[in-house]
Structures are given as C-alpha cells and as structure tokens.
Amino acid sequence: MNPLSILHLCAGLISLAMGFAIVWLPKGDRRHRLFGWIYVVAMAISLFSIVIRTQPRLPPFAAYALFMMMVLAGAVGVSRCRRKFPAWRAWHGALMALTLLGSTMAASSILGAVVIGAGNGPAFYRMFNAIVASATLLALGLIATRKIIWGRIPLPRERAARLWYSALVATSSSALIALQWPLAFPT
C-alpha cells in the first residue's frame, strides 16, 4: 500500500470517528466545535490524498471526492457566514451530513472489498454501487422521518434546506452510480 493510500485511510477513519461522535454531541458546544474542526481537517486530508493518488486519471470516486471537498467547504462557509444564511444551522448540518454519508460509503466499500476479496474490477464496483444505493436510501429515509431537528419542529426555511439536502444526496449518489456503472458492468 502506498503512502497516499495509508494517509487516505488513516485520515478517513479519523474523520469517520469524529463525524459519528459529533452526531451524538450537543450542537454548538466546545467539544462540537473541536471535533468538528478535527473532522474538517481529517476529511480534507483524506479527500485530497485520494484525488492526488488517482492522478493522472480521475475515476468516478475521485470525482466524487472533489464534489465532497466542495460540500465540506460549503458546510464550513455557511457556519462562518451566519448573517447571510438565516437557515445556516440547517445548511451546515445537511452539508456535513452529506460528507459523513460519503465517508460512510467509502469506509463500507473498503470493508466490502475485504469481504468479497476484490479491491478493484467489476465485482468491486457492483458491490460499491450497492453500498451507495443502500446508504443513500437509508440516509434519505432517516431525514424524511425525523419531524424534529435540534429539539424542535423545523421552520419553513429549515424544511426547505432539508429538501435541498435530499435532492443533493439523491442526485450525487445517482451520478456516482451512473459513472461507475460501466466499471461494474464492462462490455
């Protein structure tokens, strides 16, 4: 395994651990912010290292990593520009949740590769697409069934952010599956 792969894996595991810890922490407190910044830095390192490692070609999952970098930057941006975004909490939470979904799908695909004994090729991409589809449906189901966010009923602008989040999740996951389809079922 090359050093960039090891860096990607270690940073990805750190971000995954921090991301799931943040889900259970009270929002806005000192630990949330500390773990959040660790998450952002680890996620950025993980995403950047996978993009660099796959150069000069850009496989679909590396293009998805570039997309996740933009989503991560957006999540940080809306929290830093609170006055310009009335529903900044909804957007911050939704965008961070999308990065956590992407991280979970990536980690699951690595575990799946170990289970099926294939880290590449059609069998791997079929398994990866199944993970993307399953995780996406689970994430959309979770957000759709939660009537209460942050201990209260969401305001209309927060509900709108939630709908945009759902559309972004469905679109980005569908695009990833579509781009990987030729790799899963080569002709």
82-109 pLDDT, tens digit each: 889 888 888 888 899 899 999 999 999 9
pLDDT at 178 over 70: yes
Q: How many CA atoms does the CB half-sphere of 87 hold within 13 Å?
A: 18
Here the tokens at position 69 are 């970098």
What global pTM score does this model have? Answer: 0.89
- 187 contacts 116 by C-beta, under 8 angstroms: no
Here the tokens at position 78 are 């809306």
Q: How many CA atoms does the CB half-sphere of 168 hold within 13 Å?
A: 22
Q: Convert the pLDDT of each residue in 126-157 to its tens digit.
A: 999 999 999 999 888 877 776 666 566 778 88
What is the CA 183 to chain-centroid distance, rounded?
21
The predicted pLDDT at position 27 comes to: 80
The predicted pLDDT at position 149 comes to: 62
The predicted pLDDT at position 137 comes to: 93
Percent of the chain with pLDDT over 90: 61
Look at residues 7, 38, 5, 9 and name the one whose alpha carbon lies nearest to residue 21: 38
- 49 contacts 7 by C-beta, under 8 angstroms: yes
The predicted pLDDT at position 157 comes to: 84
* Residues 6+ positions from 34 with CB-CB distance below 8 Å: none
Look at residues 100, 101, 91 and name the one whose alpha carbon lies nearest to residue 160: 91
Q: What is the DSSP letter of 47?
A: H
Query: Where is pLDDT greater, at 141 or 36?
Result: 36
What is the phi/psi pair of residue 86, to 5°?
-55, -35
Here the tokens at position 174 are 């569908």
Predicted confidence band at 159 (pLDDT cuts at 50, 70, 90)?
Answer: confident
Which range has the top average pLDDT, 35-49, 57-71, 102-116, 131-145?
Answer: 35-49
Give CA separation, 146 vs 28, 110, 137, 139, 181, in Å.
Answer: 20, 29, 14, 11, 32
DSSP letters for 9-40? HHHHHHHHHHHHHHHHSPTTSHHHHHHHHHHH
